[in-house]
Amino acid sequence: MNEYITLLRKNRNYRYLWLGNVISLLGDWFNLLASAELITNLTNSGVAISSLFLARYLPLFLASPLAGVVADRFSRRTIMIWSDLLRAVTVLGFLLVRSTEQIWLLYVLTVVQFVLSAFFTPARSAIIANVVAQEDLVAANALDSFTWSTMLAIGSFLGGLATAVFGAQIAFILDAATFLLSAWMVSRVIVPARRKGEVHLGGWFEFIDGFRYLWSVPFILGLSLVKGAGSFVWGSINVLEISFAEKIYALNMPALQAALRIEDGGTATLGIIYMMSGLGTGLGPLFMRRVLGDDKKRMLWGITIGFFLMGGGIIGLGLAPSLLYFLLATFVRTVGTGTLWVFSAALLQMMVPDQYRGRVFAFEFAVLTLTQSISILGAGFAQDELLMPLSRIAIWVGSLGLVVSLVWLAFHLWYQSMAKRRMSEQAA
């Protein structure tokens, strides 16, 4: 861990970015658990929960093309600050949702919140390479993943506990406060002046220009699809985990629940599941990086291993006979997803020119949210319309994950063969 501590100590700008991320992520998990509990209490519907995640992800897909152009044309730091400030105001609106008739307002506010997130995320992904040296990019991304995971573990556990004990309203207020603190942290970052690129073509044409760049470099295009391919599988788990927690593994410990005044055992169990997810996504990339190192070829193998761990872990969710085994399968699954997330992001930051970086990350984010939305909708449909048991859905989803893993492996091996062919031609 010394390398990561050194990075935070010596790089002031990344340190403030990291601190802002810590604070913002803590509030995000409070918000998600509170929203899930509110919808469950008001509707008790799998489709309604799926709709919550669709409201979180589809706006990201729709707004990402514009967000990518904005991130490449304007100050990325300013974009992040305004996104945080406006999200703080937006999440306070969740306090107005108090009945089934007002559930539409929760969805509308969620859409607004994540439209703003669509501008924040690619700007932050792109700005990391502006404030971190290339040799530290893998370490920075691994630390970001560890931070996301730690906040998932801590924030989800505390969020589940706080929501169960104090109710959703307190969680929403805390979320708004974290956005304000995050904005202040980001305002402390000093970003080096960016080199001027080509003459601006106009928003839509600049987006097309970014897509042409991706199309002209198939390897970069493949890397930008890694998270989208993974989310096509793991997106449904967002819905299934809530149902598993509420319907199968709801906390049933009367003495502990009475001592902590926990009325909703399902919310507490969901917090425990998210805590295990945080451990997997945090420790997994750190371990894989220690084993594989920062070499680009080895990172590609890390992505391949990550895909197979993801698919196998999800199958394990469906086969788990108890909560303990479910948590172990969750750990395996999230080690895989964390690894492919970190390594693909680091490779893109290393290889994509700065003038295209915002658009490439926006494209990656758009594909991620689209495939995640499709996966989420499919999980809700399978529960409510097809009436499939949760375990069977998980096994089918995990099997799909193994198919996706094989597709990536084929791409990986194809790229390696092409690289070797080019090397032999140059040698000749």
Query: Which residue is listed with tokens 């970015």?
Result: 17
Q: What is the pLDDT, as a whole number, of residue 233?
A: 84
Whose CA is closest to 412, among 296, 298, 300? 300
Q: Is residue 311 part of a domain?
A: yes
CA distance 138 to 361: 16
Q: Is residue 198 part of a domain?
A: no
Q: Is residue 194 part of a domain?
A: no
What's the Cα-to-Cα distance from 99 to each of 41, 95, 108, rounded to whole Å? 10, 11, 15
Q: What is the pLDDT, as a whole number, of residue 201?
A: 45
Q: What is the pLDDT, as a whole number, of residue 304?
A: 92
Q: What is the pLDDT, as a whole number, of residue 388?
A: 82
Q: What is the pLDDT, as a whole number, of residue 253?
A: 43
Q: Is residue 156 part of a domain?
A: yes
Whose CA is closest to 274, among 17, 26, 24? 26
Question: Which residue range(s) make up the domain with 6?
Answer: 2-188+203-427
CA distance 244 to 233: 17
Q: Is residue 197 part of a domain?
A: no
Q: Is residue 306 part of a domain?
A: yes
Q: What is the pLDDT, as a whole number, of residue 194?
A: 58
Give the chain's residues under pLDDT 70.
1-2, 44-47, 49-50, 152-153, 156-157, 159-160, 162, 164, 167, 193-210, 250-268, 425-428
CATH number of the domain bearing residue 75: 1.20.1250.20
What's the Cα-to-Cα distance from 374 to each of 53, 58, 63, 76, rounded to whole Å? 10, 9, 17, 30
Residues 358-402: tens digit of each pLDDT? 778 778 877 887 888 788 778 777 877 777 888 888 899 899 999
Tell me the residue type at 97.
V
Whose CA is closest to 307, among 410, 179, 163? 410
CB 341 within 8 A of CB 148: no
Neighbour count for residue 395 (Cβ, 10 Å): 17
Number of structural domains (the chain) is: 1
Q: Is residue 296 part of a domain?
A: yes
Q: Is residue 193 part of a domain?
A: no
